[in-house]
Amino acid sequence: SPDFSVRAFYIYPMNIEEIYSRFLEHPSISTDSRNVLPNSLFFALKGPSFNGNSYAAEALDKGAAYAVVDEARFATNDRTLLVPNVLKCLQDLATHHRRQSKATLIALTGSNGKTTTKELISRVLERTFKTQATVGNLNNHIGVALTLLQIRKDTEMMVVEMGANHQKEIAFLCALAEPDYGYITNFGKAHLEGFGGLEGVIIGKSEMYDYLMAEGKTVFLNADDPIQRKKLESYVNKVGFSTSDPGYFRIENQGADPFVTLRAEDTAIETSLSGGYNFSNCAAALLIGKYFNVPLSEIRIAIESYIPENNRSQLLRIGSLDILLDAYNANPSSMSAALEHLKALDAPKKLAILGDMFELGADSASEHQLIAEQAAGLNLDNLMLVGKAFFATTAEAQKFKTFEALVEFLESSPIKGSGTLLIKASRGMALERLVNYL
């Protein structure tokens, strides 16, 4: 009636096409009412201790164009969009947007080295293509969706990192992102609690293989990894690298003292990555670049220009002490590899400060004991172990139950002289704080 001024708004669940039309008008996403992007779509996600629906009005007040909610009582005006489930809507929207794009999507997962490999691959590809990649480590069921929604119209290559701490998660993320290609960095002793042991890790990470093979897509592999070779033994659509097998693209490992150096064809690449375990990460980026016809000279520039940060394989110098700072995360496989790298280095003095590894479940005590014994067996000039799990081991080392106890010791007995110090632990230990005390 012309006598009434009533603004219509949706009081029934909207379908994905309706939500997508709003997204095309406002192609940025907010999920935290404390940091709302202007004119974005705010998705009112729920968590164990919060209900995003409660913050929808606040998000709108702070500049969001629309708020997507899944409880009708919060759909109070024409800027609140009601859906059956906010999280599923976000994921469905991401898949729908991905399907509108012509970008080639490369997915990668693995126990160690995912983020470094993702950065290397994207830097190589962007030498020739308009390339996007996962920002930081947004690699879970929310992060992958947010990554897909960042794909632009002109994007030619999209590199998407996928993380998991239990089985069926990689399968879900592949169904969400629908990758054209995939690569698994390795299979290691990470998230043993959620996967139920190393065999569970192999099954869980291999869900990427299962998806790609079922779709007839191409798989990239490290042909020197026996697990990868066995898993892909009978699969035709595979492209790999190897240090020795002539059936694959040959990449020579020229060592890592202190930085990884590799050679392909007639080109040597000298990286800024410490740790021999980073060879395969660099080799994967090289292989994928070659596959997509990026000139080898451009691949070399991309890999050599990559400088690690965020406490991943960083080499710092404090006075005459070289510090291998690899404190972003740790598990038994990456810890063991880091110790082997330290052993192989030519240094006047070798030291290590190792912190607890998390999410190992029932295997925690035995895995910490194995790493402690490995470290003690290197006969380092000094070995310091910090955290409750390492404190409980029986290896010969200086042990500290807490970070504060370690700091107190270092302040009274500072490390002197030249040498190389490895600092490695799980993220929760935050051992990068030691740099300030050193």
* CATH number belonging to domain 16-89: 3.40.1390.10
- Closest by Cα among 237, 289, 232, 236 to 265: 289
How many angstroms separate the CA atoms of 175 and 158, rounded?
Answer: 16
Per residue in 250-298, pLDDT (tens digit) is 999 999 888 899 999 999 999 999 888 899 999 999 999 999 999 999 9
What pLDDT was estimated at residue 311?
67
Residue 152: the pLDDT is 96
Rg over CA atoms, the chain = 24
The distance of Cα 403 from the centroid of its chain, to the nearest Å, equals 26
Looking at residue 119, its amino acid is E
User: Residue 359: is its pLDDT beyond 90?
Assistant: no
pLDDT of residue 36: 95
pLDDT, one tens digit per residue, over 322-351 is: 999 988 888 898 899 889 989 988 888 999
CATH 3.90.190.20: which residues of the chain? Answer: 314-437
| pTM of the shown model | 0.84
Regarding the domain with residue range 101-304, which homologous superfamily does it belong to in the CATH classification? Mur-like, catalytic domain (3.40.1190.10)
Own/partner pairs, 89-92, CB within 8 angstroms, 24+ separation: 89/16, 89/19, 89/43, 90/29, 90/31, 90/43, 90/45, 90/142, 90/145, 90/146, 91/141, 91/145, 91/176, 92/16
CATH of domain 314-437: 3.90.190.20
Query: Tell me, what's the pLDDT at 4?
Result: 38
CB of 205 closer than 8 Å to CB of 164 = yes
3-state class (DSSP) for residue 106: strand
Query: Where in the sequence of the chain do the CATH 3.40.1390.10 domains occur?
Result: 16-89
pLDDT at 3 over 50: no
Query: pLDDT over 70 for what percent of the chain?
Result: 97
